[in-house]
Amino acid sequence: GQNIDQPTEMTATEGAIVQINCTYQTSGFNGLFWYQQHAGEAPTFLSYNVLDGLEEKGRFSSFLSRSKGYSYLLLKELQMKDSASYLCAVRRSGGYNKLIFGAGTRLAVHP
């Protein structure tokens, strides 16, 4: 079976740092993605981790621990435009590179 868990909602203040966690249980793990999705729009790619450790890209960083089935997305220097849903997705090994998405975390950034 497969299961991906994320908090449903989070709030944070403009300029602050927020960490969004994702835990997963899946057979055939082959990488983890984070996507940002604004309401009514398609997801946009943020990060990809396949090896343990931290990947940093500007204000966004993503961490993966394969042994713990755990990842987090770290957003620094929050801006109002960061208010969106953040989707954790696991890539299954095997053909077609299927992605299995978590339910998403709705982040609200307040002034």
Partner 1 sequence: GAVVSQHPSRVICKSGTSVKIECRSLDFQATTMFWYRQFPKQSLMLMATSNEGSKATYEQGVEKDKFLINHASLTLSTLTVTSAHPEDSSFYICSARDGTRGRPYEQYFGPGTRLTVT
Query: Of residues 70-109, which lie at the interface with partner 1 (CB under 8 A)?
Result: 87, 91, 96-104, 106
Query: What is the smallest separation between the CB atom of 77 and partner 1, expressed in angstroms?
Result: 26
Sequence-separated contacts (24+) of 13-17 with Cβ below 8 Å = 13/78, 13/109, 13/110, 13/111, 14/78, 14/79, 14/80, 14/109, 14/110, 14/111, 15/77, 15/78, 16/78, 17/74, 17/75, 17/76, 17/77, 17/78
Query: Of residues 6-35, which lie at the interface with partner 1 (CB under 8 A)?
Result: 31
58 touches partner 1 by CB under 8 A: no
Judged by beta carbon, residue 74 or residue 100, the one nearer partner 1 is 100
